[in-house]
Structure 1
Amino acid sequence: MSDKLVPASPADVMVIRDITPSITTLSLPFLRFGRFEIGGRSTIVRMTGGGVLVFSPVALTPDAAAVVTRLGGKEGVKYLVAPDIEHHIFLSKWLKAYPTARIIAPEGLAEKRAATAGKDPRVNVDDKFFAVLADKRSQSMREPQSIAPDFDADFGLVYFDMHPNKEVVLLYRPENILIEADLMFNLPAIEQYQRVDPATRHGAPGHANLLNRIFQTVMRTEGDLVWARRFQWHVASRSDRARFNEGLQVVDSWPFEKIIPCHGETIEKNAKEVFRRVFAWHLGSNKD
């Protein structure tokens, strides 16, 4: 049930931050499997043609709605992006609030949601998807994917259909910012736990949670990255490493200057260098 995955009072712990004048993030605490502090983040992007795109919707608090109004004006939400098959439980609430929004999602998510019928009150299985990204396309990962003219004008998109979570990665072209969910973490999740009382935290290193500390080592972007690289090589890309590599090469060709992940810290300096270090084995560096 999704009620075990979200804070009891999201408005009390949400951290809202403007990354640029056109992009605002909504960050929240989130424990994966009840023990790994990975945090959660939604990214709200002002579209050049009006309205906003919401990448990985989190809890729709009054403050979150105010961000939509500030960035999107009367046009509100144009697109809701479920960035993979794991990030979707708030789609229904956002769609109810912004019924003209178009949902973009990976193949398999509609079926996953349908399986929760009658079990999860947060998920409306009747929600309609505007664009479903198909798995294992015959086309090259290098071939541009089109969603709609207003979306295509602002965003580049690579769909990692071979990733275990089916990852959707965006480039916001006007400001050269990469937005992604589970393709790359950047732990520890400092900002996302900023407003949480340390005395009530679970899974934090200070509580001697060994598994949490190990997980943070695997999902970091600084220091010795051998375990992060091993995870990407042996887990994330195992189903089709050649196609995974091709997708990464496309992303690497984008001129991004910042990376906004769903889990962990936003990377605002040397983003391309960080990306290349994490995915060095896939981008052609020697496998050490």
Structure 2
Amino acid sequence: MVGILTEFGPGIWIADGPDVTAAAGFRYPTRMAVIRMSSGGLFVWSPTELTDAVRSEVDALGEVRFLIAPNSLHHVFLADWQRGYPDARVYASPGLREKRRDIRFDGDLGDRPAAEWAGDLDQVAMHGNRITTEIVFFHRASRTVLFTDLIQHFRPGWFKGWRALVARLDLMVAAEPSVPRKFRAAFTDRPAARTAIARVLAWPAEKVLIAHGEPVTEGGQALIRRAFRWLVDS
């Protein structure tokens, strides 16, 4: 039997969830990552739908201790996970507390990792964007950078009709993973964004995990640099 969780590197597993429909009927795939920390507990990034099968495989890896919403757009299944794992600590990205008052948040994500996972992960807040403030993570053991929405890569044919045209113009469908044009335009504080991406590029990344697109398994740092060339070189 093929499992739901796929090992992506030392101490990190990924799983794809159901598609979700966003504004204007755009359909997005979902993906989460489960990271086993050196303490043995689990760090769940961008949780997807919590089914019995998902729960069984996650529980086999360890105790869920942290539930992470990496930006204010990725929260659809968060309340279900909180009900399923009431002892786990739930962390909000900037703006999410106001958006989801039905969820009990135990902490806020910022520009530095919390002490509980600082030994395993680093993080940077991409400030200055009108759409959302995304927290970008780096898992040291697997040398993986985790992006949520700032880098996307949909396969040709994913969108139909006028949405396909919009997606192509927005660079959601491009030759390789890219920052959509709407997110580029939404950065109102480019110096802050440039400082943040410089920290990301300092990480010794080999892999890049994105929520909306196929994972990148090699050349991760170079890909991130190409994706943000419009910002770094401006």
* Counterpart for residue 109 of structure 1: 96
Could you list the per-position Cα deviations for residues 246-277 of structure 1 after superposition, in whole angstroms to 9, with x for gaps in the alignment? 11111011111111111111111222221111
Q: Is the 8 A contact 1:79 1:102 kept in 2?
A: yes
The equivalent residue for 1:233 is 184
For residues 39-59 of structure 1, give each alpha carbon's deviation from its aligned partner in whole angstroms, at most 9, with x where no partner exists: 111111111111111101111
Q: Does 1:128 align with 2:94?
A: no
Counterparts in 2 of 1:216 and 1:268: CA distance versus 1, 3 Å: farther
Q: Please say which of residues 95-104 and 241-250 is displaced more in the overlay.
A: 95-104
Q: 1:155 aligned to 118, 121, 126, which one?
A: 121
Gap regions ≥5 residues in structure 2? none
Q: Are 1:179 and 2:146 an aligned pair? A: yes
State the Cα distance separating 1:37 from its structure 2 match.
Answer: 3.6
The partner residue of 1:91 within 67, 75, 78 is 78
How far residue 132 of structure 1 moved from its aligned partner, in angstroms, is 1.4
What count of residue pairs does the alignment treat as equivalent? 229
Looking at structure 1, the residues matched to 195 and 24 of structure 2 have their Cα atoms a distance apart, in angstroms, of 34
1:51-62 mapped onto 2 (5 Å cutoff): 51-62=41-52
% identical aligned pairs: 27
- The 3 A distance-change label for structure 1 pair 81 and 229 is closer
Segments of structure 1 that go 5 or more residues without pairing to the other structure are 1-13, 115-124, 135-143, 190-202
Local SS of the residue matching 2:163? helix
The aligned residue for residue 260 of structure 1 is 209
- The 3 A distance-change label for structure 1 pair 174 and 223 is closer
Q: What is the one-letter code of the residue matched to 2:126? A: F
Q: Distance in 2 between matches of 1:34 and 1:230?
A: 17
User: Aligned-pair distance for 1:229?
Assistant: 6.8
Superposition RMSD in Å? 2.5
The answer to whether residue 172 in structure 2 is matched with residue 219 in structure 1 is: yes
1:261 & 1:181 partners in 2: Cα distance?
A: 5
- Larger Rg belongs to: 1
In the superposition, the TM-score normalised over structure 2's length comes to 0.87
Q: When you count strand as a share of all residues, which structure comes out higher? A: 2
Q: Distance in 1 between matches of 2:6 and 2:124?
A: 26
Aligned residue for 2:59, secondary structure, equals: helix
CA shift for structure 1 position 80? 0.5
Name the CA distance, whole Å, in 2 between partners of 1:224 and 1:57.
22
Counterparts of 2:177 and 2:219, CA distance in 1: 17
Instruction: Flag the 1:25–1:146 CA change in 2: closer, same or farther, 3 A.
Output: closer
1:46 aligns with 2:36: yes
Q: Does 1:24 align with 2:13?
A: yes
The offset of 1:21, in angstroms, is: 4.7
C-alpha change, 1:213 and 1:35, in structure 2 (3 Å) is farther
Letter in 2 for 1:252: L
Q: TM-score, normalised by structure 1?
A: 0.71
Aligned-partner SS, 2:67: strand
Q: What one-letter code is carried by the residue in structure 2 that aligns with 1:71?
A: L
Show the 5 A alignment for 1:49-88: 49-72=39-62, 76-88=63-75
Distance, in Å, in 1 between the alignment partners of 2:153 and 2:117 is 27
> CA–CA distance in 1 between the matches of 2:219 and 2:50?
32
SS in 2 for 1:259: strand
Q: Distance in 1 between matches of 2:135 and 2:212?
A: 15
**More helix by percentage:** 1
Q: Distance in 2 between matches of 1:132 and 1:229?
A: 26
Q: Give a deviation string over 1:162-182, Cα, whole Å, max 9, x none.
A: 222110111011121111211
